[in-house]
Structure 1
Amino acid sequence: MVSHPIFHQTLVLFLLCVTTLSLVAADPTDGFTQLSLTSSNFQVQKPYDVSQGDRYTFINGVHRLWVYNSDKPHTTTSQTAPRTEIRITGYDYTSGVWQFEGHFYVPSGTTGTCIQQVFGGATHATTSQTRVYGGSLTHYQSTTLQQNIYNKWHRFNVIHDVGANNVKIYIDGIRKFNGNGRGAGVHYMKFGVYAQEGASPYMESRWRDIKLFRRY
C-alpha cells in the first residue's frame, strides 16, 4: 500500500495539536460560575480611630489598602492585630466549592502581613491565610508559594472545597498549594493587609479585578 504524504502531514499536525493541548494547564476557573460583585459587597475594615480615606483608596479600578503596625484594631472590642482589609459580604457559605480571584501588588518593604484570607473553620478562625514574608508569598508560615513577589502584579486564585476540606492556591495560573482546610464553619473571603508576626512598620497591598466564583 502506498502511503499518501498529505495523510502523514495531517497526522503529524494532529498529534502536535494534541501534545500542545495536553501541555497547557487548565485555568483554575474552568467549571466555575462567576458571581455578581458590586461595591456593596465590599466592606472595608480599618483601624477604628481613623477615617476610611486614611487607610484605603479605590482609584482607576485598584483597591489600595495600607496599615501601620502601631495602628489600633478594627473595632474597639477587638484584641486582634492592625488591619485594613475588605471583607466580601453577601456570599458567606457553609458548604460547596468556592473560588476567589484577584490580581495583587505588594510594594517592597511590606513583610509580616496577611494579604488574603479564607475566613472560618472548625478548629481555627481561618481556613487559609496567604502571607508575605521578606518578599516571598507563603501559606501561613510553612509553605512558600512564590518568591520575589515585590513590585509586580500577580494573579491569585484560591479554591475552597468545604466538603472535601481542601484548599488549592494558584499564582499566575500555576498551582502552588494543595492541602487540607480547617474544617467547616461560616466562611467568607477577605483581602488587604493584616499584621502578623514580624510585621513591618508599614504594610500595603493593592488589588484589582476581584472576582468570586462557585462550582454548581
Structure 2
Amino acid sequence: MKISHYYCITSLLLLILFCFSEGWRADPTYGFTVVPLTEWNFELQKPYDVPLEERYSYENGVRKLWVYADDKPHDPNSLTQPRTEVRIRGLDYSSGVWQFEGYGFVPNGTSGVTVSQIHGAAQAATTLILRIYNGDMRYYSADLIATGMYDRWFRLNVIHDVDGGKVTVFIDGVQKFQVKDKGPGDLYFKCGVYAAPGNISYCMESRWRDIKIYKK
C-alpha cells in the first residue's frame, strides 16, 4: 500500500515536471471560438503591375507569396514598400479578443520583411509587425521574439485583447512575446511578405497553411 502510494506521488511529480518543461506546449486557442472562413476572406494584395500568379500560388493547402525589392507597391498611388500579402477580409474588429493562427514557413535568405501583422491602431498604421531578419523574428525592427525561423514550419498564434490593450505572440504553442497595443481602431490580420523600410533581401518569400481566426 505504501509502495503504491509512493508511485502515485512520483508519477504526479513527473507529470508536473513534464508540463512545465520545454517539451510541454499549451494550446493558445483554448476558450476561443473559431470563425468560419471562405476563400472570399483571403484578399490578395500584390504589386499592381504584375499578374497575381507571378507573385502568388495556392497548391495543396499552401499559400506561397513572394515579392522582389524592386517591385511596385500594391497601388499606383501608394508610396509604400512592395508586398504580396493576404489580408483577412470581412473580419475587421475594434473591440473584444481576437486571435490569428497559421503555420508559416520562411526560406533561408528572406530578410528584412514583415511576415505577419495586425493592421490599424489609434496611434499608428499598425498594431503589430512581425519581421524576419536573418532567421530571427522581431517586433518591428527591435525586440527579439524568436530565433531559428528559417526553413521550417512554425505555428504562429497572435492574440489581440483590444479591451485589455495587449497583444501576445506564441510560437509553436509557447508564449514568446507580449506588448501593449496602440489603441483601438479598424483592425485586421495580414500575413505574407511586406518589405521593411531597409536592409531587405532582393527576393522575399513566405508560405502559409491552415490559417484560422478565433474570437472570444
Q: Distance in 2 between matches of 1:109 and 1:22?
A: 34
Q: Distance in 1 between matches of 2:52 and 2:83?
A: 12
Letter in 2 for 1:150: Y
- Structure 2 vs 1, CA of residues 14 and 174 (structure 1 numbering), >3 Å: closer, same or farther? closer
Q: Distance in 2 between matches of 1:204 and 1:131?
A: 12
C-alpha displacement at 1:200, in angstroms?
Answer: 1.2
Counterpart in the other structure of 1:62: 62
Map 1:25-40 onto structure 2 (within 5 A): 25-40=25-40
Counterpart in the other structure of 1:165: 165
Counterpart in the other structure of 1:10: 8
Counterpart in the other structure of 1:106: 106
Secondary structure of the 1:53 match is helix
Map 1:1-216 onto structure 2 (within 5 A): 4-21=2-19, 23=21, 24-196=24-196, 197-215=198-216
Percent of aligned positions that are identical = 46
Q: Distance in 1 between matches of 2:189 and 2:68?
A: 22
Secondary structure of the 1:108 match is coil
Given that 2:115 and 2:206 are in contact with CA atoms closer than 8 Å, whether structure 1 keeps it comes out as: yes
C-alpha displacement at 1:165, in angstroms?
Answer: 1.2
C-alpha displacement at 1:16, in angstroms?
Answer: 3.8
Q: Distance in 2 between matches of 1:152 and 1:146?
A: 13
Given that 2:129 and 2:139 are in contact with CA atoms closer than 8 Å, whether structure 1 keeps it comes out as: yes
Q: Which runs of 5+ in 2 are unaligned?
A: none
Q: Distance in 1 between matches of 2:140 and 2:85?
A: 17
Per-residue CA deviation, residues 54-107 of structure 1 (Å, 9 max, x unaligned), is 100001110000001111111111111100000001110000111101111111
Per-residue CA deviation, residues 118-174 of structure 1 (Å, 9 max, x unaligned), is 111011100000001111111111111112211111111111111111011111111
Given that 2:101 and 2:156 are in contact with CA atoms closer than 8 Å, whether structure 1 keeps it comes out as: yes
Return the TM-score normalized by structure 1: 0.93
Q: Distance in 1 between matches of 2:6 and 2:195?
A: 62
Q: Distance in 1 between matches of 2:152 and 2:118?
A: 23
Secondary structure of the 2:10 match is helix
More off after superposition, 59-68 vs 14-23: 14-23
Secondary structure of the 1:175 match is strand
Q: Distance in 2 between matches of 1:214 and 1:80?
A: 30
Letter in 1 for 2:11: L
C-alpha displacement at 1:9, in angstroms?
Answer: 3.1
Q: Which runs of 5+ in 1 are unaligned?
A: none
Given that 2:25 and 2:172 are in contact with CA atoms closer than 8 Å, whether structure 1 keeps it comes out as: no
Q: CA RMSD in A?
A: 1.5
Bigger radius of gyration? 1
C-alpha displacement at 1:179, in angstroms?
Answer: 1.0
C-alpha displacement at 1:17, in angstroms?
Answer: 3.6
